[in-house]
Amino acid sequence: MAVEVNSAASAFEAGIPHPLFDVTLSSIAGRNGYVVTRDGQRFLVNAPTEEVGAAPMNVVLNFTGTAK
């Protein structure tokens, strides 16, 4: 959610909250369904996919040890 704020007025004023984007969080993610980058410009969201039989994930370890 996001809200516009006005700090120029004599008192703090907040606008009406609205969604930043439409996303469905995974129920298995629990409270760690998303994280925000340090600069606040991006979100990493653990969201379910609609693909059935998605491609496997390959993890490469120690790739710098074999690079020449």
Do 2 and 18 meet the contact criterion of CB atoms below 8 Å apart?
yes
For position 29, what pLDDT does the model report? Answer: 59
| Chain-centroid distance, C-alpha 35 | 5
pLDDT digits (tens, 9 = 90+) for 20-46: 888 777 666 567 778 889 998 998 887
- Residues 12/5, Cβ–Cβ less than 8 Å: yes
Residue (of 51, 12, 48) closest to 33 by Cα position? 48
